[in-house]
Amino acid sequence: MATIIDGKAIAARVRGEVAAEAAALREKGITPGLAVILVGDDPASRVYVNNKKKACAEAGIYSEEIALPADTTQDELLALIASLNSRSDINGILCQLPLPSHIDDKAVISAISPLKDVDAFHAANVGHIMIGDYTFLPCTPAGVMELLHSAGITAAGKSCVVIGRSNIVGKPMAMLLLHENGTVTVCHSKTANLKQICQGADILVAAVGKAKFVTADMVKPGAAVIDVGMNRDENGKLCGDVDFAGVEPVAGWITPVPGGVGPMTIAMLLKNTILAAKHQNALLIK
Ligand code: NAP
């Protein structure tokens, strides 16, 4: 039976560390601040934004929600971002994706100052990650690395397989495993022999977006299986990309959904906001 990696508990520990750092910054007269922009009324985005605001309040981070109507123009959104870029009380800026289809995600991401880009989606930050010289790491892949570290799992010399190649999860995930000396294979919808490739993985990260996609016959006995997916099953219940019931007896470690990667994403966002505040106040030596 696999050891279950408890993302809720690990995220709580990280959030406690963040709260201590926020308190230390406040003693220096610096209150870390995060602006969260929500355009439109997507219900899932509303839940994510509420969770982020609550987590900020608990950690002693000032948060400001800017909720805009769905018909907000791209120019209006870019003007708002420019004003947030220039505010000294706002250290991090996050624009909740997806945006309405008339707005170009890329234009919005590239308008956020790289120093305030706590999602680490800006091309400048992606480049920094690529060369291993970064301030921010994207929240979800960074959360996965924290889960692995907390469980005492090292990537060095291991076969690491990432299923998914999105800019926000799969690609940066592969890069972080590579930085830690894993031998990394990235799979996607055109990959031939996916099952065989997965069977060779010591660390298998699923970021596909398909319920119960990873089945027991794809998993090497004893492997660490990290489930990034957030899907709804046939009964509308939250589930991951991994068939947990089938894989858990085979794997060495496994993350549950809910309670695995999800809580880590917000914890890492808080961590990035602290880093941004330190950086902007010249308290971070790189
Ligand atoms: P995405 O942009 O839709 O990317 C999905 C990836 O899976 C793509 O690279 C796609 O390949 C690949 N894929 C699809 N079908 C496949 C197949 N049959 N075989 C192999 N690969 C296949 O999704 P995402 O944004 O990376 O998110 C992935 C999942 O993680 C979603 O469930 C999302 O909700 C979840 N998520 C969770 C968190 C969290 O905090 N826990 C954060 C972000 C995302 P192609 O590139 O070839 O199309």
Give the ligand 1 atom nearest the CA of 208. Answer: 7
User: What is the CA(108)–ligand 1 centre distance, in A?
Assistant: 22
Q: Whats the size of the chain, residue-wise?
A: 286
Give the ligand 1 atom nearest the CA of 188. Answer: 21
Instruction: Tell which one of 188, 213, 266 to mutate to probe ligand 1, the residue whose CB is within 8 A of the most ligand atoms.
Output: 188
Residue 38 tokens, joined: 């929500």
Mean pLDDT of 46-50: 94
Mean pLDDT of 24-45: 96
Query: Has 119 been annotated as catalytic?
Result: yes
Q: What backbone torsions phi and psi does residue 43 show, to the nearest 5 degrees?
A: -60, -40
For residue 266, pLDDT beyond 70: yes
Task: Give CA separation, 118 vs 5, 35, 79, 211, in Å.
Answer: 25, 10, 19, 29
| Strands (DSSP E) found in 103-146 | none
Any atom of ligand 1 within 6 Å of the Cβ of 211: no
Quickly count: other Cβ atoms within 10 Å of residue 157's Cβ.
9
pLDDT in tens, 199-227: 999 999 999 999 999 999 999 999 999 99
Give the ligand 1 atom nearest the CA of 260. Answer: 41
- CA–CA distance, 129 with 80 (Å, rounded to integer): 27
Mean pLDDT of 68-94: 98
- CA–CA distance, 196 with 74 (Å, rounded to integer): 45
Instruction: Share the mean pLDDT of the chain.
Output: 96
| Residues paired with residue 95 on neighbouring β-strands, in sequence order | 37
For residue 284, pLDDT beyond 80: no
Query: Has 75 been annotated as catalytic?
Result: no
Catalytic site residue from 117, 119, 202, 241? 119
- CA–CA distance, 202 with 158 (Å, rounded to integer): 6
CA-closest residue to ligand 1 atom 47: 189
Q: 94-98 long-range contacts, Cβ below 8 Å, gap at least 24? A: 94/34, 94/35, 94/36, 94/37, 94/52, 94/118, 94/119, 94/269, 95/37, 95/39, 96/36, 96/37, 96/38, 96/39, 96/45, 96/48, 96/49, 97/45, 98/42, 98/45
Any atom of ligand 1 within 6 Å of the Cβ of 141: no
Of 163, 130, 118, the closest CA to residue 273 belongs to 118
Of 116, 36, 37, 115, the closest CA to residue 74 belongs to 37
For residue 18, pLDDT beyond 60: yes
Query: Has 217 been annotated as catalytic?
Result: no
- H or E segment to which residue 163 belongs: strand 159-163
Any atom of ligand 1 within 6 Å of the Cβ of 265: yes
User: What pLDDT score does 283 carry?
Assistant: 78
- SS3 of residue 165 by DSSP: coil
Residue 65 tokens, joined: 């929600």
Q: How confident is the model at residue 84 (pLDDT cuts 50, 70, 90)?
A: very high
283 vs 76, residue with greater confidence: 76
Its sign, for the CA torsion 218, 196, 221, 181, is: negative
Q: In what order do the strands lie in the sheet with 62-68?
A: 62-68, 33-39, 92-95
- SS3 of residue 33 by DSSP: strand
User: What pLDDT score does 285 carry?
Assistant: 54
Relative to beta strand 33-39, strand 92-95 is: parallel
